Amino acid sequence: MNAQQKQRFAFASIWTAAMLTMVLLTLIVGIIMVRGLPSVTWEFLTGTPEDLGREGGILPTILGTVALGLVALLIATPLGIGSAIYLTEYTHTSRLTRAIRFGTESLAGVPSIIFGLFGFIFFVNYLQMGWSILAGGLTLALMVLPTIIRTAEEAIMTVPQAYRDVSYSLGATRWEMVTTAVLPSALPGIVTGVILSFGRAVSETAAVIFTAGTALNLPVSPFSPVRTMAVHFYILAVEGISLEKAYATGAVLIITILLINIGANMLVNRVIAKRGK
């Protein structure tokens, strides 16, 4: 084969790969949506499950998902932004910062079942929280912390040095500089990371089952066990309770992720646009 033929072959393969990926995506999303959307009615979204989920809706699971996500973000966001601020504005590279970075990167790589194990031993049993929104939310917070730290750090680092210099020249303390000059500018980037972390919390299953439990009731307190949509989908699907409701729950999950991605992208585009100025 000469060079031209090789190129044609290579490019044909690459185009095939790209189209195959698109086809696979369409298939996966399509099957769930086509079989699931028809069952996603207002009653489905606001009703409670009956007959273990064969009938009725998924309101408790929606609430459970939101509750877990909120708790996780309420804990991880201040921690994450604080870490990012410290790492970027308050220190220079040192043994300590390297250790912190190592901790963050390692945490990012821990598999979800290990988080589930840890959350089960530590939050559910040792701290006696039982299977609860708190235990689940705390575990999820640890899982999304690295992402928030990473995105916040990058957002802060892209703030032009000029902003800081101006602030200092006006007599601001470091904290004042951070809160008035850096954070507002870095905010869209930070919020993007938070939104994406919420997506991660929505999709997570292994860690959630062993920390927040599987009870189908409407949560009444931070110590209530909850079932998230992802867990509900898993149980419906695996136990053959109702394929129809499984597909419907799956469709709601995909729509949620889609909305989260769209939100994050809109914010990122704002960041890019501002950077261009």
Partner 1 sequence: MKERAISIMLLVAALGALLALALITYFVFQSGLPLILEVGLWNFLSGTTWNPTADPPQFGLLPMIVGSLWLTVGSLVIGVPLGIAVAVFMVELAPPRLAQFMRPAIQLLAGIPSVIYGFIGLTILAPLLRSTFGGPGLSVLTGAIILGIMILPSIIAISEDAIRAVPRSLRDGALALGETHWQVISGIIIPTARSGIVASVILGMGRALGETMAVIMMIGNALIIPYSPLQPATTLTSNIGLELAYATGAHRDALFATGVVLFVLIMLLNGIATAFVRRPAFSRRGT
Partner 2 sequence: MCWLAFALLLNACGSTNNENVLNITGSTSVAPFIEHLAEIYQQEHEGVTLNVQSLGSTAGVRAAIDGVAEIAMSSRNLDAAEAELLEQVVVARDALAVIVHPSNPLVNLEQAQVQAIFSGEVTSWAAFGGADKPIVLVVREAGSGTFGAFEELVMQGVPITPAALRQGSNGAIRQIVAEDPNAIGYISLGIVDSTVKAVAINGVEPSVAEVEAGNYTFVRPFLFVWQKNRPMSALATQFLEYTLGPAGQAELTRLGLVKGVTTR
Question: Out of 2, 5, 221, 277, which residue is the one contacting partner 2 (CB under 8 A)?
Answer: 221
By CB under 8 A, the residues from 188 to 217 that bind partner 2 are: 213-217
Nearest to 187 by CA among 84, 115, 35, 63: 84
By CB under 8 A, the residues from 164 to 223 that bind partner 1 are: 173-175, 189, 193, 199, 202-206, 209-210
Question: Out of 20, 223, 273, 275, which residue is the one contacting partner 2 (CB under 8 A)?
Answer: 223
Nearest distance in Å: CB 175, partner 2? 14
Nearest distance in Å: CB 208, partner 1? 10
Q: Does 244 bind partner 1 (CB under 8 A)?
A: no
Q: Does 41 bind partner 1 (CB under 8 A)?
A: no
Nearest distance in Å: CB 145, partner 1? 6
What is the per-residue DSSP string for 117-179? Answer: HHHIIIIIIIT---SSHHHHHHHHHHHHHHHHHHHHHHHHHTS-HHHHHHHHHTT--HHHHII
Count other Cβ atoms within 10 Å, centred on residue 40: 19
Helices (H), the chain: 3-36, 42-46, 59-85, 95-109, 112-119, 133-157, 161-169, 174-177, 183-203, 206-212, 229-238, 243-276
Q: Does 32 bind partner 1 (CB under 8 A)?
A: yes
Question: Out of 34, 127, 261, 274, which residue is the one contacting partner 1 (CB under 8 A)?
Answer: 261
Q: Does 46 bind partner 1 (CB under 8 A)?
A: no
